[in-house]
Amino acid sequence: MPTLIRIAVLLLLSTSALAQRAIDFSPLEFPSGGNIVVPVAEGETLTGLAAELDERTGGALSMAATEAKFTGETSQTLTLFGIRPYSRIDLIGVGSETVGRLTAETFGGLAASLNDGTSGTDTGILWSGIALGNDADAARVAFGYRLGDYRFDRYLETRIDPATQGGVTIYSDDAGAASRFNEDLRHLADAVWFARDLSSEPGNVMYPQSFVDRTREEFRGLGNVSIRVLDEKEMKRLGMGAHLGVGSGSSRPPRLMIVEYRGGGDGPTLALAGKGITFDTGGVSLKQNENMWMMKGDMTGAAAVTATVLAAARRGAGVNIVSLAAMAENMPSGTAIRPGDVLTSMSGKTIEIRSTDAEGRLVLSDAVHYAQIEYSPDVLINLATLTGSVIRAVGPDYAGLFSRHDEIADDLLASAAASGEKAWRLPLSDTYFDAIKSPVADVINAGAKGAGASIGAAFIGSFVAEDQVWAHLDIAGVDYTDAGSPTTPVGFTGYGVRLLDDYIRRHRE
């Protein structure tokens, strides 16, 4: 095929709607012009690349740093324009500690945000692992850059076209960085973008079936992957009365989407279940209007687990993972469930509905039951924007972590710390299981006052066998950020993909 036609075909086939700025790698040197980004270690005098650049600019850097009180403290930035031969120099502080993975990612993310909407001039990011320490991985800089470069602007008339943005080259002394990024971390960043896209899409666009369609598109062509979708008919046959109940108020039918990646041969299976409420009005127990729009993101758990499998499949990880996206739209209508209704879940347990707004635990109760009997996973983890209560408990920066098993809890906390997706363990003791007793059914879905996040966790836990290694992450506070950070711009965060990916690398491969 002639090259031009082949390129055209490839472009047409590239299903990902990701328009991204290209990131290239090059051996460490100062480019001859354009924009440059330079790390500055905190200290009395400029060292490493910053010292070299200072010399090249006749001391302009040290003068500017002194004048602007720029010390190189972590995440401090200083932009200088028009110092020859550069149009622009961005200095980014990396602190005085040994530069590790998160500092490198933050540096990359800051480079992206400083570079946002620039003139089209090429940008060179300089990074010396030798000067900054062996953990100062240039692939992590690229990863951070890609994470920080995310925006959701598809419905804006004036969108930034990455093609007009100028190229980005990372100049580093690390020859392996290009392949570590292109064959590995790039896929993880793309998966985070995918999760953010799914979450940011409005409820009129992203509903159970369109979530499935979008996922199929994204996984097309990947090996060792199978996608299975249970529709209402199949769910009825299986007796998934809890999940069906939640979906019954909507004209957009519920789905349970199962994505299975088998890269690990006969090894054990990790099951990831995600809450996928594509819009949560509260149902008949209607929510107030203020901030209700945010409930378009009540499916971020499902997005994160699906995207985690995507990242593993794209990089060809040697693991077996299955994600279960429990999807429904929670609407009030003449066919909706009501408070007082009793539903029979797939497990056979009956559930008294006290609030139709406690719907996440309902869809998950069937999903975790199904995951256990169908896949016998050695570990089961669920992610859900389950309660407002967890936000009151730990705020917007931490997910609540719940488990009956200390080892999986510790492993996940370690991955939370390493990936920068923070989590804090909250209690899950017998008291909370007592709080879900109902006078008319086996369990009640809401009603008990007090520790809402723990009670929600206990509800899901009551559908998980006690010896099943299981953990629940309540991500209601972390799925969206108002403040933004270098690697998570304001908006939906894609929380969980990096954390779960870290867990998979450490404990499953």
Tell whether residue 298 is a contact of Zn ion (CB under 5 A).
yes
Tell whether residue 365 is a contact of ligand BES (CB under 6 A).
no
Query: Which member of 137, 190, 359, 411 binds ligand BES (CB under 6 A)?
Result: 359
> Going along 190-319, which residue ranges are E strands?
225-230, 255-262, 269-280
Tell whether residue 389 is a contact of ligand BES (CB under 6 A).
yes
| 360 contact partners, CB below 8 Å, separation of at least 6 | 275, 277, 280, 298, 301, 384, 385, 386, 456
Kindly state the tokens that stand for 99.
């530069």
How many residues sit close enough to ligand BES to count as binding (CB under 6 A)?
14
Phi, psi for 226 (deg, rounded to 5): -130, 140
Burial class for 182, CB neighbours closer than 10 Å (0-12, 13-18, 19+): middle
Tell whether residue 357 is a contact of ligand BES (CB under 6 A).
yes
Q: Which of 220, 142, 137, 146 is nearest to 189 (CA)?
A: 146
Binding to ligand BES (CB under 6 A): which residues in 139-198?
Answer: none
Pattern 436-475, binding to ligand BES, x per CB under 6 A? ----------x-----x-----------------------
Smallest distance, Å, CB 484 to ligand BES?
18
From the list ligand BES, Zn ion, Mn ion, none, which binds 332 (C-beta under 5 to 8 Å, kind-based)? none
Catalytic residue, from 314, 361, 505, 508: name it: 361
Is the distance from CB of 199 to CB of 299 less than 8 angstroms? yes
Which span (73-81, 114-122, 259-267, 357-365) binds ligand BES, by CB under 6 A? 357-365
Tell whether residue 329 is a contact of Zn ion (CB under 5 A).
no
Nearer to Mn ion, 214 or 275 (CB): 275
Nearer to Zn ion, 479 or 502 (CB): 479
Tell whether residue 203 is a contact of Zn ion (CB under 5 A).
no
Phi, psi for 503 (deg, rounded to 5): -60, -45
Kindly state the tokens that stand for 310.
């995507």
Tell whether residue 200 is a contact of ligand BES (CB under 6 A).
no
Query: Which member of 147, 358, 443, 460 binds ligand BES (CB under 6 A)?
Result: 358
Is the distance from CB of 64 to CB of 78 less than 8 angstroms? yes
Smallest distance, Å, CB 321 to Mn ion?
27
From the list Zn ion, ligand BES, Mn ion, none, which binds 411 (C-beta under 5 to 8 Å, kind-based)? none
Catalytic residue, from 216, 287, 315, 425: name it: 287
Which span (124-132, 146-154, 201-209, 356-364) binds ligand BES, by CB under 6 A? 356-364
- Separation CA 92–CA 496 (nearest Å): 27
Nearer to Zn ion, 258 or 277 (CB): 277
Terminal CA-to-CA distance of the chain, rounded, Å?
39
Tell whether residue 476 is a contact of ligand BES (CB under 6 A).
yes
Query: Which member of 137, 197, 352, 357 binds Mn ion (CB under 5 A)?
Result: 357
Which span (158-166, 249-257, 386-394, 429-437) binds ligand BES, by CB under 6 A? 386-394
Nearer to Zn ion, 61 or 277 (CB): 277
Query: Which member of 149, 280, 352, 474 binds Zn ion (CB under 5 A)?
Result: 280
Phi, psi for 118 (deg, rounded to 5): -75, 180
Smallest distance, Å, CB 330 to Zn ion?
7
Tell whether residue 300 is a contact of ligand BES (CB under 6 A).
no
> Does the N-terminal peptide bond of residue 85 adopt cis geometry, omega within 30 degrees of 0?
yes
> Going along 331-479, which residue ranges are E strands?
342-344, 350-352, 379-384, 399-403, 423-425, 443-444, 469-474
Kindly state the tokens that stand for 476.
């209601």
Instruction: Tally DSSP H helices, then E strands, for the chain.
Output: 18, 19
Kindly state the tokens that stand for 358.
């406690």
Which span (65-73, 221-229, 382-390, 460-468) binds ligand BES, by CB under 6 A? 382-390
The dihedral over CA atoms of 400, 402, 406, 410, expressed in degrees to the nearest 10, equals: -20
Tell me how long the chain is: 509
Nearer to Mn ion, 352 or 357 (CB): 357
Going across the sheet that includes 123-127, the strands are 23-27, 168-172, 123-127, 35-41, 88-95, 77-81
Binding to Zn ion (CB under 5 A): which residues in 357-396?
Answer: 360
Is the distance from CB of 185 to CB of 108 less than 8 angstroms? no
Is 262 a residue of the active site? Answer: no
Tell whether residue 280 is a contact of Mn ion (CB under 5 A).
yes
Is 361 a residue of the active site? Answer: yes
Positions marked active-site: 287, 361
Interface positions with ligand BES (CB under 6 A): 280, 298, 355, 357-360, 385, 387-389, 446, 452, 476
Interface positions with Mn ion (CB under 5 A): 280, 357, 359
